[in-house]
């Protein structure tokens, strides 16, 4: 019998740039319930969403809460990256009666979710050679390029948020060198999420058109992906192929920088729709081709997170500090 005290039911929240999800997590049943999804633009403040959800909960609200939010690491005051919301964690706790409240970066929460993903929550891209107890990493292109890693410290798992989107990126082919030459005068620095993100995919498409002297039209990232996957536009296909190669290069660098050789989990809104394309792309070749570390990286299993709730799962299982 465990001597550990029972964990309390907690409020879990996943606050993104577009939607906010709120639910209860019951650790005794390992169950997320009372889930509601809100469209952020319909509310002036995050506190308004909490008020609406709690008013409709139909049971006594817990006094513990964990929030995953798409915002840079900070102390008490949280300022979101992709919308004009800012809130104080201490004021939120006081207003809604939370005696325990922990705030996580969104990818920090994704990392906490990794050991708790069910069989249908992820898809294996490359099996590798798993090392028991190895550090795990999660990386995901979306509006930007986020990441985190999960490691064991003093017998417990701890997640660390990172900023891989602002790491440097290097060309690996002659074509990529041309892309970098075209973009460097405009941006002064080729950092990872400039090209390895949703906006980066659209940027690749336009830049390739400029290099090849081909006419391009204004396309959203999802339209570039759709046309490429359908084989309807050669320039879109080249852009997506280049995107996957650069994602592989950035992934390998991130694994090396964090020492995460136990497994890589790709998240975000873009990659789950690209799994078949990625398997035939240069993604994995670029991930492993890192000189003397090639064999080590070739042994790292690569998965794609397919569940739509990694933030809630991570907020459910993260320790409440």
Q: DSSP of 124-175, one letter per residue?
A: EEE-----TT--EEEEEESSSEEEEEEEEETTEEEEEEE-GGGSB----SHH
Q: Are residues 11 and 74 in the same domain?
A: yes
Q: Are residues 119 and 70 in the same domain?
A: no
Rounded CA separation 207/180 (Å):
9
Write down the pLDDT at residue 2: 42
**83-101, pLDDT tens digit by residue?**
889 999 999 999 999 999 9
Write down the pLDDT at residue 1: 36
pLDDT tops 80 at residue 5: no
pLDDT tops 70 at residue 174: yes
Phi and psi of 57, rounded to 5°?
Answer: -70, -40
Two tokens at 304?
Answer: 């794609």
Proportion of the chain above pLDDT 70, given as a percent? 98
Other Cβ atoms within 10 Å of 126 Cβ, number: 17
Range 232-246 average pLDDT: 98
How many structural domains are present in the chain?
Answer: 2
Which residues does 218 contact at the CB level (< 8 Å), separation at least 6? none
3-state secondary structure of 26: strand
* Burial per residue of 177-193, b for 16 or more beta-carbon CB atoms within 10 angstroms, e otherwise: ebbbeebeeeeeebbbb
Q: Specify the CATH number for the domain of residue 260.
A: 3.40.367.20
Q: Which domain holds residue 196?
A: 106-314
**212-225, pLDDT tens digit by residue?**
999 999 999 999 99
Q: Are residues 137 and 65 in the same domain?
A: no
Write down the pLDDT at residue 179: 98
Provide the residue count of the chain. Answer: 321
- Mean pLDDT score of the chain: 94
Write down the pLDDT at residue 73: 77
**112-130, pLDDT tens digit by residue?**
999 999 989 999 999 999 8
Cβ-in-10-Å burial (0-12, 13-18, 19+) of 119 comes to exposed
Write down the pLDDT at residue 70: 86
pTM greater than the 0.85 cutoff: yes
Q: Are residues 111 and 188 in the same domain?
A: yes
Question: Is residue 176 a contact partner of residue 246, using CB atoms and an 8 Å limit?
Answer: yes
Rounded CA separation 117/115 (Å):
6
């Amino acid at each position: 019998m465990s001597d550990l005290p029972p964990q309390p039911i907690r409020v879990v929240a996943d606050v993104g740039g577009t939607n906010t999800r709120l639910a209860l997590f019951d650790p005794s049943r390992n169950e997320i319930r009372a889930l509601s999804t809100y469209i952020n633009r319909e509310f002036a403040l995050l506190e308004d969403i909490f008020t609406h959800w709690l008013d409709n909960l139909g049971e006594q609200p817990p006094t513990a809460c964990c929030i995953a939010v798409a915002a840079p690491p900070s102390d008490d005051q949280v300022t979101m990256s992709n919308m004009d919301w800012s809130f104080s964690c201490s004021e939120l706790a006081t207003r809604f009666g939370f005696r325990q409240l922990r705030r996580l970066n969104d990818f920090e929460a994704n990392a906490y979710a990794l050991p708790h993903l069910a069989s249908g929550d992820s898809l294996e891209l490359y099996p590798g050679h798993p090392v028991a107890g190895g550090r795990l990493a999660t990386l995901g292109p979306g509006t930007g390029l986020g990441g985190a890693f999960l490691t064991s410290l003093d017998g417990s798992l701890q997640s660390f948020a990172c900023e891989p989107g602002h790491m440097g990126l290097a060309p690996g082919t002659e074509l990529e060198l041309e892309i970098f030459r075209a973009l460097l005068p405009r941006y002064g620095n080729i950092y990872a999420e400039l090209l390895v993100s949703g906006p980066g995919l659209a940027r690749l498409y336009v830049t390739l058109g400029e290099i090849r002297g081909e006419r391009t039209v204004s396309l959203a990232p999802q339209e570039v992906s759709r046309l490429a996957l359908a084989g309807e536009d050669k320039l879109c296909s080249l852009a997506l192929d280049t995107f996957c190669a650069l994602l592989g290069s950035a992934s390998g660098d991130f694994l090396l920088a964090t020492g995460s050789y136990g497994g890589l989990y790709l998240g975000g809104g873009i990659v789950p729709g690209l799994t078949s394309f990625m398997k035939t792309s240069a993604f994995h070749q670029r991930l492993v081709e890192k000189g003397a570390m090639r064999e080590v990286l070739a042994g790292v299993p690569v998965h794609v997170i397919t569940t739509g709730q990694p933030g809630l799962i991570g907020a459910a299982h993260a320790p409440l500090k």
